Structure 1
Amino acid sequence: MKKKQGLSRQYDSIIQDQLSTEIIEKVDIHYTEGLVHYIPHHAVISPLKITTKVRIVYNASAKTKREVKSLNECLYRGPVLLQNLCGMLIRFRIYRIDIEKAFLEVGLQPRERNVTRFLWLKD
Protein backbone atom coordinates (compact mmCIF):
# COMPACT_ATOMS: atom_id res chain seq x y z
CA MET A 1 0.00 0.00 0.00
CA LYS A 2 2.94 2.31 0.56
CA LYS A 3 3.79 2.13 -3.14
CA LYS A 4 0.44 3.54 -4.29
CA GLN A 5 -0.10 7.11 -3.20
CA GLY A 6 -3.21 7.62 -1.08
CA LEU A 7 -4.21 3.93 -1.08
CA SER A 8 -3.59 3.48 2.65
CA ARG A 9 -5.76 6.52 3.40
CA GLN A 10 -8.58 5.26 1.13
CA TYR A 11 -8.33 1.76 2.62
CA ASP A 12 -8.54 3.16 6.14
CA SER A 13 -11.50 5.30 5.13
CA ILE A 14 -13.35 2.17 3.97
CA ILE A 15 -12.51 0.36 7.23
CA GLN A 16 -13.70 3.34 9.30
CA ASP A 17 -16.92 3.57 7.26
CA GLN A 18 -17.58 -0.15 7.79
CA LEU A 19 -16.98 0.34 11.53
CA SER A 20 -19.36 3.29 11.76
CA THR A 21 -22.11 1.47 9.84
CA GLU A 22 -21.54 -1.66 11.98
CA ILE A 23 -20.67 -3.88 9.03
CA ILE A 24 -17.56 -4.83 11.00
CA GLU A 25 -16.77 -4.52 14.69
CA LYS A 26 -13.69 -4.10 16.83
CA VAL A 27 -12.79 -7.02 19.06
CA ASP A 28 -10.29 -7.54 21.84
CA ILE A 29 -7.40 -9.38 20.19
CA HIS A 30 -6.80 -11.26 23.45
CA TYR A 31 -10.37 -12.64 23.51
CA THR A 32 -9.98 -16.09 21.99
CA GLU A 33 -12.95 -18.12 23.19
CA GLY A 34 -13.75 -20.93 20.74
CA LEU A 35 -12.30 -21.06 17.24
CA VAL A 36 -10.39 -18.01 16.04
CA HIS A 37 -9.30 -17.46 12.44
CA TYR A 38 -7.92 -14.36 10.71
CA ILE A 39 -8.85 -13.71 7.09
CA PRO A 40 -6.34 -12.02 4.77
CA HIS A 41 -7.57 -9.02 2.82
CA HIS A 42 -6.35 -6.74 0.06
CA ALA A 43 -7.42 -3.82 -2.06
CA VAL A 44 -8.88 -4.14 -5.53
CA ILE A 45 -8.42 -0.93 -7.46
CA SER A 46 -10.74 -0.01 -10.34
CA PRO A 47 -9.65 3.46 -11.47
CA LEU A 48 -12.25 3.64 -14.26
CA LYS A 49 -15.23 3.08 -11.94
CA ILE A 50 -17.20 6.19 -11.08
CA THR A 51 -18.50 5.11 -7.66
CA THR A 52 -16.10 2.71 -5.95
CA LYS A 53 -12.50 3.03 -7.10
CA VAL A 54 -11.11 0.97 -4.20
CA ARG A 55 -12.80 -1.96 -2.50
CA ILE A 56 -11.61 -4.44 0.08
CA VAL A 57 -11.66 -8.15 -0.68
CA TYR A 58 -11.56 -10.61 2.22
CA ASN A 59 -10.03 -13.89 1.04
CA ALA A 60 -11.66 -16.74 2.97
CA SER A 61 -10.25 -19.19 0.40
CA ALA A 62 -6.66 -18.53 1.50
CA LYS A 63 -4.75 -21.40 3.12
CA THR A 64 -1.90 -21.22 5.62
CA LYS A 65 -0.53 -24.53 4.33
CA ARG A 66 -1.34 -26.66 1.30
CA GLU A 67 -2.67 -29.54 3.40
CA VAL A 68 -4.84 -27.30 5.62
CA LYS A 69 -8.41 -26.41 4.64
CA SER A 70 -9.41 -22.80 4.04
CA LEU A 71 -12.25 -21.16 5.96
CA ASN A 72 -14.50 -21.49 2.90
CA GLU A 73 -13.86 -25.22 2.81
CA CYS A 74 -14.83 -25.57 6.49
CA LEU A 75 -18.11 -23.66 6.33
CA TYR A 76 -21.42 -25.48 6.20
CA ARG A 77 -22.98 -24.60 2.89
CA GLY A 78 -26.57 -25.42 3.71
CA PRO A 79 -29.36 -25.94 1.20
CA VAL A 80 -29.55 -23.83 -1.96
CA LEU A 81 -32.29 -21.25 -1.36
CA LEU A 82 -31.92 -19.31 -4.60
CA GLN A 83 -34.62 -19.39 -7.19
CA ASN A 84 -34.02 -20.33 -10.80
CA LEU A 85 -30.89 -18.45 -11.90
CA CYS A 86 -32.26 -17.66 -15.35
CA GLY A 87 -35.34 -15.96 -13.90
CA MET A 88 -33.21 -13.97 -11.43
CA LEU A 89 -30.94 -12.68 -14.20
CA ILE A 90 -33.92 -11.56 -16.25
CA ARG A 91 -35.37 -9.68 -13.26
CA PHE A 92 -31.99 -8.00 -12.62
CA ARG A 93 -32.06 -6.67 -16.16
CA ILE A 94 -35.64 -5.37 -15.84
CA TYR A 95 -35.24 -3.38 -12.60
CA ARG A 96 -32.41 -1.19 -11.44
CA ILE A 97 -30.99 -2.89 -8.32
CA ASP A 98 -27.97 -1.71 -6.31
CA ILE A 99 -26.07 -4.79 -5.15
CA GLU A 100 -22.77 -3.00 -4.46
CA LYS A 101 -22.76 -3.82 -0.75
CA ALA A 102 -25.09 -6.82 -0.69
CA PHE A 103 -22.56 -9.28 0.71
CA LEU A 104 -21.54 -6.86 3.46
CA GLU A 105 -25.07 -7.09 4.86
CA VAL A 106 -24.84 -10.78 5.79
CA GLY A 107 -25.02 -11.22 9.56
CA LEU A 108 -23.18 -13.85 11.59
CA GLN A 109 -24.15 -15.39 14.90
CA PRO A 110 -22.01 -13.88 17.72
CA ARG A 111 -20.46 -17.28 18.54
CA GLU A 112 -19.29 -17.66 14.92
CA ARG A 113 -17.77 -14.22 14.41
CA ASN A 114 -14.30 -15.09 15.72
CA VAL A 115 -13.53 -17.14 12.61
CA THR A 116 -14.02 -14.09 10.38
CA ARG A 117 -11.58 -11.75 12.08
CA PHE A 118 -9.08 -9.67 10.14
CA LEU A 119 -6.26 -7.41 11.22
CA TRP A 120 -6.08 -3.72 10.36
CA LEU A 121 -3.13 -1.71 11.55
CA LYS A 122 -3.63 1.87 10.49
CA ASP A 123 0.00 2.79 11.03
Structure 2
Amino acid sequence: MPTHINTSFGWVIGGSTMLPTEPERYKCNFVPDQPSLDEIVSHFWKVEEYQTPRQTLTEEEQLCEQHYENTVAVGSDNRITVRLTFKESPQALGQSYVSAAKRSSLLERRLKNNQSLKESYVQFMREYITTGHMSLINDVDKREPHFFIPHHCVLRPQSLTTKLRVVFDASAKSSSGVALNEILMVGPTIQQDLITTLLSFRLNRYALSGDISKMYRQFVVDERDRKFQLILWRENDTDMLQIYQLNTVTYGVSAAPFLAIRSLFHIAKLNESESPLAAAVL
Protein backbone atom coordinates (compact mmCIF):
# COMPACT_ATOMS: atom_id res chain seq x y z
CA MET A 1 0.00 0.00 0.00
CA PRO A 2 1.13 3.64 -0.43
CA THR A 3 2.99 5.22 2.46
CA HIS A 4 3.33 8.75 3.86
CA ILE A 5 6.69 10.32 3.07
CA ASN A 6 7.89 13.54 4.75
CA THR A 7 9.77 15.60 2.16
CA SER A 8 11.16 19.14 2.13
CA PHE A 9 7.96 20.13 0.28
CA GLY A 10 5.68 18.61 2.92
CA TRP A 11 4.00 15.22 3.31
CA VAL A 12 3.37 13.21 0.16
CA ILE A 13 1.83 9.82 -0.42
CA GLY A 14 3.73 7.44 -2.61
CA GLY A 15 4.00 3.76 -3.43
CA SER A 16 2.24 1.06 -5.43
CA THR A 17 -1.23 -0.26 -4.87
CA MET A 18 -3.05 -3.42 -6.00
CA LEU A 19 -5.63 -2.51 -8.63
CA PRO A 20 -9.03 -4.19 -8.06
CA THR A 21 -10.58 -6.22 -10.80
CA GLU A 22 -13.06 -3.44 -11.44
CA PRO A 23 -11.40 -0.01 -11.92
CA GLU A 24 -12.28 2.49 -9.21
CA ARG A 25 -11.52 6.18 -8.91
CA TYR A 26 -9.07 7.06 -6.17
CA LYS A 27 -9.02 10.54 -4.60
CA CYS A 28 -6.08 11.93 -2.59
CA ASN A 29 -6.45 15.16 -0.63
CA PHE A 30 -3.28 17.11 0.24
CA VAL A 31 -3.21 20.02 2.72
CA PRO A 32 0.22 21.71 2.69
CA ASP A 33 1.63 23.49 5.71
CA GLN A 34 3.75 25.63 3.38
CA PRO A 35 2.48 28.97 1.92
CA SER A 36 0.48 28.56 -1.24
CA LEU A 37 1.83 29.64 -4.61
CA ASP A 38 -0.61 32.57 -4.57
CA GLU A 39 0.74 33.71 -1.20
CA ILE A 40 4.35 33.40 -2.36
CA VAL A 41 3.72 35.46 -5.51
CA SER A 42 1.75 38.02 -3.50
CA HIS A 43 4.62 38.32 -1.02
CA PHE A 44 7.10 38.75 -3.87
CA TRP A 45 5.16 41.70 -5.27
CA LYS A 46 4.90 43.30 -1.83
CA VAL A 47 8.67 43.05 -1.41
CA GLU A 48 9.22 44.60 -4.84
CA GLU A 49 6.70 47.38 -4.28
CA TYR A 50 8.17 50.85 -3.79
CA GLN A 51 7.63 52.16 -0.28
CA THR A 52 7.42 55.88 0.30
CA PRO A 53 10.22 56.87 2.71
CA ARG A 54 9.11 57.54 6.27
CA GLN A 55 8.65 61.27 6.81
CA THR A 56 8.23 61.43 10.58
CA LEU A 57 11.06 61.07 13.06
CA THR A 58 11.00 59.05 16.25
CA GLU A 59 11.41 60.85 19.56
CA GLU A 60 15.10 59.89 19.77
CA GLU A 61 15.69 60.95 16.16
CA GLN A 62 14.11 64.34 16.91
CA LEU A 63 16.38 64.73 19.94
CA CYS A 64 19.38 63.84 17.80
CA GLU A 65 18.41 66.43 15.20
CA GLN A 66 17.93 69.09 17.89
CA HIS A 67 21.28 68.17 19.43
CA TYR A 68 22.98 68.66 16.07
CA GLU A 69 21.36 72.03 15.41
CA ASN A 70 22.27 73.28 18.91
CA THR A 71 25.91 72.16 18.82
CA VAL A 72 27.11 72.39 15.19
CA ALA A 73 29.68 75.11 14.50
CA VAL A 74 31.95 76.33 11.72
CA GLY A 75 35.60 76.48 12.74
CA SER A 76 38.20 79.08 11.83
CA ASP A 77 39.33 76.80 8.99
CA ASN A 78 35.73 76.73 7.66
CA ARG A 79 35.32 73.08 8.59
CA ILE A 80 32.14 71.87 10.25
CA THR A 81 32.62 70.95 13.93
CA VAL A 82 30.19 68.54 15.58
CA ARG A 83 29.55 67.06 19.01
CA LEU A 84 28.95 63.36 19.72
CA THR A 85 25.26 62.56 20.16
CA PHE A 86 25.12 61.15 23.69
CA LYS A 87 21.76 59.82 24.84
CA GLU A 88 23.17 58.60 28.17
CA SER A 89 25.81 60.05 30.43
CA PRO A 90 29.40 59.08 29.47
CA GLN A 91 29.80 58.20 33.15
CA ALA A 92 28.33 54.82 32.18
CA LEU A 93 31.58 53.98 30.39
CA GLY A 94 34.08 51.93 32.35
CA GLN A 95 37.80 51.43 31.75
CA SER A 96 38.75 50.48 28.20
CA TYR A 97 42.55 50.80 28.06
CA VAL A 98 43.33 47.17 28.97
CA SER A 99 40.88 45.78 26.42
CA ALA A 100 42.23 48.07 23.68
CA ALA A 101 45.81 47.08 24.59
CA LYS A 102 44.96 43.39 24.21
CA ARG A 103 43.38 44.02 20.82
CA SER A 104 46.46 46.04 19.84
CA SER A 105 48.67 43.09 20.76
CA LEU A 106 46.61 40.76 18.56
CA LEU A 107 46.85 43.23 15.70
CA GLU A 108 50.63 43.47 16.03
CA ARG A 109 50.90 39.69 15.94
CA ARG A 110 48.91 39.63 12.70
CA LEU A 111 50.98 42.41 11.13
CA LYS A 112 54.23 40.73 12.17
CA ASN A 113 53.27 37.69 10.08
CA ASN A 114 52.42 39.76 7.00
CA GLN A 115 54.98 42.39 6.08
CA SER A 116 53.06 43.88 3.14
CA LEU A 117 49.96 44.22 5.32
CA LYS A 118 52.02 45.96 8.01
CA GLU A 119 53.46 48.41 5.48
CA SER A 120 49.96 49.30 4.28
CA TYR A 121 48.71 49.70 7.85
CA VAL A 122 51.65 51.92 8.83
CA GLN A 123 51.16 54.01 5.68
CA PHE A 124 47.47 54.47 6.53
CA MET A 125 48.26 55.58 10.08
CA ARG A 126 51.02 57.96 8.94
CA GLU A 127 48.61 59.59 6.52
CA TYR A 128 46.02 59.88 9.31
CA ILE A 129 48.61 61.75 11.41
CA THR A 130 50.01 64.01 8.66
CA THR A 131 46.52 65.19 7.69
CA GLY A 132 45.88 66.16 11.30
CA HIS A 133 42.96 63.74 11.55
CA MET A 134 44.57 62.14 14.60
CA SER A 135 47.15 63.49 16.99
CA LEU A 136 49.45 62.20 19.71
CA ILE A 137 48.58 63.05 23.30
CA ASN A 138 50.77 62.62 26.35
CA ASP A 139 48.24 61.04 28.68
CA VAL A 140 44.58 60.82 29.54
CA ASP A 141 42.92 61.34 32.90
CA LYS A 142 41.41 57.89 33.44
CA ARG A 143 39.34 59.18 36.34
CA GLU A 144 37.26 61.16 33.83
CA PRO A 145 34.91 59.50 31.30
CA HIS A 146 36.85 58.44 28.20
CA PHE A 147 36.98 55.59 25.70
CA PHE A 148 39.73 53.71 23.89
CA ILE A 149 38.56 52.38 20.52
CA PRO A 150 40.21 49.14 19.33
CA HIS A 151 41.05 48.95 15.64
CA HIS A 152 41.87 46.37 12.99
CA CYS A 153 41.95 46.25 9.20
CA VAL A 154 39.85 44.89 6.38
CA LEU A 155 41.46 44.04 3.04
CA ARG A 156 39.60 44.76 -0.18
CA PRO A 157 41.87 43.66 -3.05
CA GLN A 158 39.17 44.43 -5.63
CA SER A 159 39.00 48.11 -4.63
CA LEU A 160 40.53 50.56 -7.10
CA THR A 161 41.27 53.16 -4.42
CA THR A 162 41.47 51.91 -0.83
CA LYS A 163 42.62 48.30 -0.68
CA LEU A 164 43.13 48.44 3.08
CA ARG A 165 40.58 50.01 5.38
CA VAL A 166 41.21 50.46 9.08
CA VAL A 167 38.06 49.74 11.09
CA PHE A 168 37.50 51.38 14.47
CA ASP A 169 35.41 49.22 16.80
CA ALA A 170 33.40 51.60 18.99
CA SER A 171 31.09 48.68 19.86
CA ALA A 172 33.79 47.08 22.02
CA LYS A 173 32.67 46.80 25.65
CA SER A 174 34.36 48.74 28.42
CA SER A 175 34.88 47.26 31.91
CA SER A 176 31.33 48.33 32.87
CA GLY A 177 29.91 46.27 30.01
CA VAL A 178 28.92 49.44 28.15
CA ALA A 179 30.34 50.44 24.76
CA LEU A 180 30.55 53.93 23.29
CA ASN A 181 28.08 53.05 20.52
CA GLU A 182 25.47 51.98 23.07
CA ILE A 183 25.20 55.44 24.64
CA LEU A 184 25.10 57.41 21.37
CA MET A 185 22.01 58.35 19.38
CA VAL A 186 22.33 56.90 15.88
CA GLY A 187 20.20 59.60 14.32
CA PRO A 188 17.70 59.36 11.43
CA THR A 189 18.54 58.16 7.93
CA ILE A 190 18.37 61.39 5.96
CA GLN A 191 20.19 60.46 2.77
CA GLN A 192 18.21 59.51 -0.33
CA ASP A 193 17.16 55.87 -0.34
CA LEU A 194 18.81 53.53 -2.83
CA ILE A 195 15.75 52.82 -4.97
CA THR A 196 15.20 56.56 -5.58
CA THR A 197 18.84 56.91 -6.58
CA LEU A 198 18.49 54.04 -9.05
CA LEU A 199 15.24 55.37 -10.48
CA SER A 200 16.76 58.83 -10.94
CA PHE A 201 19.15 57.38 -13.53
CA ARG A 202 16.13 56.77 -15.79
CA LEU A 203 15.05 60.43 -15.83
CA ASN A 204 17.96 61.91 -17.78
CA ARG A 205 20.17 61.01 -20.68
CA TYR A 206 23.43 61.66 -18.85
CA ALA A 207 24.50 61.09 -15.27
CA LEU A 208 27.50 62.29 -13.30
CA SER A 209 28.73 60.49 -10.22
CA GLY A 210 31.27 61.75 -7.73
CA ASP A 211 32.90 60.81 -4.46
CA ILE A 212 33.86 62.94 -1.47
CA SER A 213 37.33 61.80 -0.49
CA LYS A 214 37.50 60.62 3.13
CA MET A 215 34.07 62.11 3.69
CA TYR A 216 33.68 61.31 7.40
CA ARG A 217 37.09 62.76 8.14
CA GLN A 218 36.19 66.10 6.55
CA PHE A 219 34.15 66.95 9.67
CA VAL A 220 35.84 67.83 12.94
CA VAL A 221 34.79 66.47 16.33
CA ASP A 222 34.68 69.05 19.11
CA GLU A 223 37.78 68.93 21.33
CA ARG A 224 35.60 68.16 24.36
CA ASP A 225 34.51 64.85 22.79
CA ARG A 226 37.83 63.63 21.43
CA LYS A 227 38.62 61.84 24.70
CA PHE A 228 35.97 59.32 23.62
CA GLN A 229 37.91 58.64 20.42
CA LEU A 230 41.25 57.47 21.80
CA ILE A 231 43.30 54.73 20.14
CA LEU A 232 46.56 52.91 20.87
CA TRP A 233 49.21 52.70 18.16
CA ARG A 234 52.91 52.17 17.54
CA GLU A 235 54.71 51.32 14.32
CA ASN A 236 57.01 48.75 15.93
CA ASP A 237 56.36 46.42 18.85
CA THR A 238 59.69 47.52 20.36
CA ASP A 239 58.39 51.10 20.75
CA MET A 240 56.28 52.40 23.61
CA LEU A 241 52.53 52.04 23.07
CA GLN A 242 51.29 55.57 22.38
CA ILE A 243 47.91 57.22 22.83
CA TYR A 244 46.34 59.12 19.94
CA GLN A 245 43.03 60.93 19.72
CA LEU A 246 40.91 60.91 16.57
CA ASN A 247 40.02 64.49 15.73
CA THR A 248 37.36 63.88 13.09
CA VAL A 249 34.14 61.93 12.63
CA THR A 250 35.21 58.30 12.82
CA TYR A 251 33.98 55.36 10.77
CA GLY A 252 32.78 52.70 13.21
CA VAL A 253 31.15 55.12 15.64
CA SER A 254 27.38 54.61 15.45
CA ALA A 255 26.59 58.32 15.06
CA ALA A 256 29.15 58.85 12.27
CA PRO A 257 26.83 58.36 9.24
CA PHE A 258 24.28 60.84 10.60
CA LEU A 259 26.90 63.40 11.60
CA ALA A 260 28.59 63.28 8.19
CA ILE A 261 25.44 63.33 6.02
CA ARG A 262 23.80 65.95 8.24
CA SER A 263 26.89 68.12 7.91
CA LEU A 264 26.57 67.99 4.12
CA PHE A 265 23.00 69.23 4.47
CA HIS A 266 24.24 71.96 6.78
CA ILE A 267 26.87 73.09 4.26
CA ALA A 268 24.21 73.23 1.55
CA LYS A 269 21.94 75.31 3.77
CA LEU A 270 24.73 77.74 4.66
CA ASN A 271 25.53 78.33 1.00
CA GLU A 272 22.14 78.05 -0.73
CA SER A 273 21.71 81.81 -1.18
CA GLU A 274 25.18 82.22 -2.70
CA SER A 275 25.24 78.96 -4.71
CA PRO A 276 21.66 77.69 -5.08
CA LEU A 277 22.41 75.15 -7.83
CA ALA A 278 25.37 73.63 -5.99
CA ALA A 279 23.36 73.52 -2.74
CA ALA A 280 20.49 71.72 -4.50
CA VAL A 281 22.82 69.12 -5.98
CA LEU A 282 24.56 68.58 -2.64
TM-score scaled by length of structure 2: 0.38
Matched, 1:105 2:215: no
RMSD, matched Cα: 2.7
Query: Aligned pairs, how many?
Result: 120
The separation in 2 between residues aligned to 1:122 and 1:86, in whole angstroms, is 40
The aligned amino acid for 1:9 is: E
SS in 2 for 1:50: coil
Gaps of 5+ in 2: 1-110, 202-206, 237-282
Q: Which residue of structure 2 lines up, in the alignment, with residue 57 of structure 1?
A: 167
The separation in 1 between residues aligned to 2:117 and 2:177, in whole angstroms, is 32
Gaps of 5+ in 1: none
Q: Which residue of structure 1 lines up, in the alignment, with residue 193 of structure 2?
A: 85
Matched, 1:122 2:231: no
Give deviations 1:48-78, integer Å, cap 9, x for gaps. 222211110101112246x712111112345
The separation in 1 between residues aligned to 2:148 and 2:229, in whole angstroms, is 6
By percentage of residues, which structure has more strand? 2
SS in 2 for 1:118: strand
- 2:158 aligned to which of 48, 52, 55: 48
Name the structure, 1 or 2, with higher relative contact order (CA <8 Å, separation 6+).
Answer: 1
- 2:122 aligned to which of 2, 6, 12: 12
Over 6 Å off, 4+ runs: none
The separation in 1 between residues aligned to 2:167 and 2:124, in whole angstroms, is 11
SS in 1 for 2:154: strand
Q: Which residue of structure 1 lines up, in the alignment, with residue 149 of structure 2?
A: 39
Give deviations 1:30-52, integer Å, cap 9, x for gaps. 23273221001001111222221
SS in 1 for 2:134: coil
Farther off after superposition, 34-43 or 100-109: 100-109
Q: Which residue of structure 2 lines up, in the alignment, with residue 24 of structure 1?
A: 134
The separation in 2 between residues aligned to 1:74 and 1:38, in whole angstroms, is 15
Q: Which residue of structure 2 lines up, in the alignment, with residue 76 of structure 1?
A: 185
By percentage of residues, which structure has more helix? 2
The separation in 1 between residues aligned to 2:153 and 2:116, in whole angstroms, is 12
The separation in 1 between residues aligned to 2:189 and 2:184, in whole angstroms, is 16
**Computing the radius of gyration over CA atoms, which structure comes out larger, 1 or 2?**
2
SS in 1 for 2:124: helix
